[in-house]
Amino acid sequence: MPKHDVLVIGAGLAGQRAALAAAEEGVSVGIVSKVHPVRSHSNAAQGGINAALQEGDSWESHAFDTVKGSDYLGDQDAIEIMCREAPDEILHLEHLGVTFHRNDEGKLGTRAFGGASQARTYYVADITGQAIMHVLYEQLMKYSELISRYEEYFTTGLVLDDEGRCAGAVLRNVSDGSMELFEAKNVILASGGNGQIWQPTTNALICTGDGIGMAYRVGAPLMDMEMIQYHPTTLAKKGFLITEGARGEGAHLLNAQGERFMERYAPNKMELASRDVVSRAEQTEINEGRGFDDGTVSLDITVVPRKRIHEALREIVLVGRDFAGVDITREPIRIKPGNHYTMGGVKTDVNGATTIPGLYAAGEVACVSVHGGNRLGANSLLDTLIFGRRSGEHAAARAKQVEHGRTSDAVLADSELEIAELIGRDHTKGRRVSVLRKELGDTMDRFVAVFRDEAGIQTALDRVKALQEEYPSAYIDDQGTVFNQDVLGAIELGFMLEQAECTCVGALHRTESRGAQYRTDYPERNDEEWLKHIDLTRSEDGPEVSYSPVTITQWQPMERTY
């Protein structure tokens, strides 16, 4: 039975950074991922990573932009930590070998990004996430004697000991279907967001929020699950992402009449207002008939010099050419707001610790909360790295103080039984798992998106509950052990349904408009009643709601204009 001081679940940026940080403290580390680490979705972060590292910039300015971007729902102590530690993290990555863009002097150069008062986004062309993640994976290979990698291992659930401490996890080796209990003094969840609950989404097929679902099942509270970011520039049909970097480089948003409509919504920052603001502006244009027939507006990148496009936006050239048949250097491309990011997640403190001893969470799976109601572009990579590292360090420190918890093989047996039951379901009764999954995605995108109201959210919640009832009879085809993706898809759907329920409950509950939550029936922000987090804890009757205060250090809520 594998046994580690620190077991990291998920191997994107947060997970790899956590594993490296823990290993540096000299404890035994294992890192598991349901896909090969370099397939993780951190790859898709194109635009860059924020840090106040240039002369004339300050962490306070970065922090204020983040607080304002969050619509004052972000916890300011956590935001301060993130912004203060950002410059050192960038330098650390640079020293490890990340090929950050340089200015003419050969020093780190920046680009502009949305919601930021300074150009403080560091980048590698438009493959920043990929470039950083591959460099971290280089380090994992370098330190393979200190960090055991379990690649293509699917975590089916967390294991608690008798005292309610996290003591490990149950894993299924995807390649042969064998199940094992992994003992660990600490588990760090770093398994990403849950965009696949919405269709379409910019998120990869693996983004099913397994970690959020697992933590919720063992009693860890989730926070601000209603805060779901719709990115302003995604391809209409497939939902693929066009980086905010395009607007950072100067691209314009145009409606069908060719108007630069952001003039009416954010006259100062224009296209570089916060994402929630830009997405709402676009959706308003589309809803009021000023969009194109296919429900889109357009992004005009042709105003960016061609040389600069090739150097800085090459991935977007490829996305345009391969997936939309558009040469972005010559013509505008049709885009619309699309599901992109989970601001909410497993509630943690500034060290990544959840309420369950020994259970940590970092990155998109977690809600510290540094993003509050709306995440700023290029703050997600930063979040994964800062809180990944902090989780790794703290879990390692805790590992030195505690013994392994007592685990029982019964958990493993239960998991095996559950999978056997799933595989053995009757094909003649229920519907396919894939059909349920699609229905969930369509429902959520229709009712819990850019604009929401009570009736719509309630409809979504009813449908989600109906799907939950149907789930135990939903069937799959593959009954084998080797690379059975079918059964993993079914387990993922179970996690997704519970998270969707939480999102609907949170969205119904929050009767105000803040950040990504825009209620047409409550269009104003209401600080008096709602300057607080919504915490959801699992109970027999679904999520139980409680509240926790927003931490305010130095920035009192103000009106938010761009």
Partner 1 sequence: MPEYTLKVRRYQPESGEGPYWQEFNVDLDPDLSVLDGLLQVRDRQDGTLVVRCSCRAAICGSCGTKINGQSGLACKTLISEAQEDADRRSTNGSAPIVVEPMGNMPVVKDLVTDMESTHWEKIRRVTPWLLPEGDPPEREYIVPPESMIDITQSMACIQCGACVSSCLSMEADPEFIGPAALAKAYRFVGDPRDGDTKERLYDLAQDPHGIYDCTHCFSCVDACPKGVAPMDQIMRLRRKAGDDEDIDDDNNGRRHELAFTKIIERKGTLDESLLLQESYASGIKGKLIPTPGAIKGLVGSLPTAVRGIRTGKMRSLSKLIPGVHPKLPGDSQKHVRNIYEHAESHREELNLYITGEEEALEEGAPEEPLEPEADLTPEAEVEPEPDEERGR
Site string for partner 1, 80-119 (x = CB under 8 A): -----------x--xxxx-xxxxxxxxxxx----------
For residue 58, state whether it binds partner 1 (rule: CB under 8 A): no
Q: Binding residues for partner 1, how many (CB under 8 A)?
A: 75
**Distances 405 to 10, 165, 357, 408, 424 between C-alpha atoms, Å:** 22, 7, 11, 10, 33
172-191 per-residue burial string, b: 16 or more CB within 10 A, e: under 16: bbbeebebbbbbbbbbbbbb
Number of alpha helices (DSSP H) and beta strands (DSSP E) in the chain: 16, 19
Under DSSP, is residue 196 helix (H, G, I), strand (E, B) or coil? helix
**Distances 499 to 291, 422, 437, 529 between C-alpha atoms, Å:** 32, 20, 13, 25
**CA 215 to CA 188: how far, in whole Å?**
11
Q: Which residue is associated with the tokens 């919720």?
A: 216
Residue closer to partner 1 by CB (options 198, 216) is: 198
Classify residue 548 as exposed, middle or buried by CB count within 10 Å of its CB (0-12, 13-18, 19+): middle
Contacts (CB under 8 A) with partner 1, residues 361-400:
none
**CA 72 to CA 276: how far, in whole Å?**
13
Q: What minimum distance in Å lies between the beta carbon of 129 and partner 1?
A: 9
Q: Quick one: angle between helices 485-509 and 433-447, nearest 10?
A: 30
Q: Which stretch binds partner 1 (CB under 8 A): 23-31, 388-396, 434-442, 493-501?
A: 434-442
**CA 73 to CA 485: how far, in whole Å?**
38
Residue selected from 329, 355, 458, 537 as contacting partner 1 according to rule CB under 8 A: 329
DSSP state, residue 449:
S
Residue closer to partner 1 by CB (options 289, 325) is: 325
Q: What minimum distance in Å lies between the beta carbon of 82 and partner 1?
A: 20
Residue closer to partner 1 by CB (options 332, 358) is: 332
Contacts (CB under 8 A) with partner 1, residues 227-246:
237-238, 240-241
Contacts (CB under 8 A) with partner 1, residues 437-496:
438, 476-478, 480-486, 489
Residue closer to partner 1 by CB (options 203, 274) is: 203
> 129: which 2 tokens?
């996430």
Residue selected from 117, 163, 287, 310 as contacting partner 1 according to rule CB under 8 A: 310
Classify residue 116 as exposed, middle or buried by CB count within 10 Å of its CB (0-12, 13-18, 19+): buried
Q: What minimum distance in Å lies between the beta carbon of 70 and partner 1?
A: 27
Residue selected from 317, 326, 365, 386 as contacting partner 1 according to rule CB under 8 A: 317
Q: Tell me which long-range contacts 481-485 makes (C-beta under 8 A, separation of at least 24).
A: 481/176, 481/177, 481/178, 482/175, 482/176, 482/177, 483/174, 483/175, 484/174, 484/177, 484/423, 485/174
Site string for partner 1, 493-512 (x = CB under 8 A): --------------------
Q: What minimum distance in Å lies between the beta carbon of 560 and partner 1?
A: 32
For residue 331, state whether it binds partner 1 (rule: CB under 8 A): no
Q: What minimum distance in Å lies between the beta carbon of 477 and partner 1?
A: 3
Residue selected from 3, 217, 425, 432 as contacting partner 1 according to rule CB under 8 A: 432
Site string for partner 1, 412-431 (x = CB under 8 A): --------------------
Q: What minimum distance in Å lies between the beta carbon of 95 and partner 1?
A: 4
Residue selected from 325, 426, 540, 559 as contacting partner 1 according to rule CB under 8 A: 325
Q: What minimum distance in Å lies between the beta carbon of 197 and partner 1?
A: 16
Q: Which stretch binds partner 1 (CB under 8 A): 164-172, 321-329, 346-354, 386-394?
A: 321-329
**CA 294 to CA 453: how far, in whole Å?**
24
Contacts (CB under 8 A) with partner 1, residues 167-226:
175, 204-206
Residue closer to partner 1 by CB (options 130, 443) is: 130
Q: What minimum distance in Å lies between the beta carbon of 99 and partner 1?
A: 5
Residue closer to partner 1 by CB (options 103, 554) is: 103
Annotated catalytic residue within 111, 172, 247, 275: 275
Rounded to the nearest 5 percent, the helix, strand and coil shares of the chain are: 40, 20, 40
For residue 39, state whether it binds partner 1 (rule: CB under 8 A): yes
Q: What minimum distance in Å lies between the beta carbon of 236 and partner 1?
A: 11
Residue closer to partner 1 by CB (options 72, 123) is: 123
Q: Could you confirm whether 275 is annotated as catalytic?
A: yes
> From start to end of 84-152, where are the E strands?
110-111, 121-122, 147-151
> 531: which 2 tokens?
């300057």
Residue selected from 163, 322, 331, 421 as contacting partner 1 according to rule CB under 8 A: 322
Q: Which residue is associated with the tokens 């047409």?
A: 520
Residue selected from 68, 111, 134, 452 as contacting partner 1 according to rule CB under 8 A: 134
Residue selected from 302, 434, 511, 548 as contacting partner 1 according to rule CB under 8 A: 434
Instruction: Please name which of 269, 198, 210 lies closest in space to residue 239, comparing C-alpha atoms.
Output: 198
Residue closer to partner 1 by CB (options 46, 354) is: 46
N- to C-terminal Cα separation, the chain: 55
Q: Tell me which long-range contacts 535-542 makes (C-beta under 8 A, separation of at least 24).
A: 535/221, 535/222, 535/223, 535/347, 536/216, 536/221, 536/222, 536/223, 536/225, 536/502, 536/505, 536/506, 537/219, 537/221, 537/222, 538/216, 538/217, 538/219, 538/498, 542/501, 542/505
Q: What minimum distance in Å lies between the beta carbon of 372 and partner 1?
A: 27
Residue closer to partner 1 by CB (options 432, 532) is: 432
Contacts (CB under 8 A) with partner 1, residues 279-298:
none
Q: What minimum distance in Å lies between the beta carbon of 100 and partner 1?
A: 7
Instruction: Please name which of 311, 90, 61, 44 lies closest in space to residue 195, comparing C-alpha atoms.
Output: 44
Contacts (CB under 8 A) with partner 1, residues 19-38:
35-36, 38
Amino acid at 395: A
Write out the catalytic residue numbers. Answer: 275
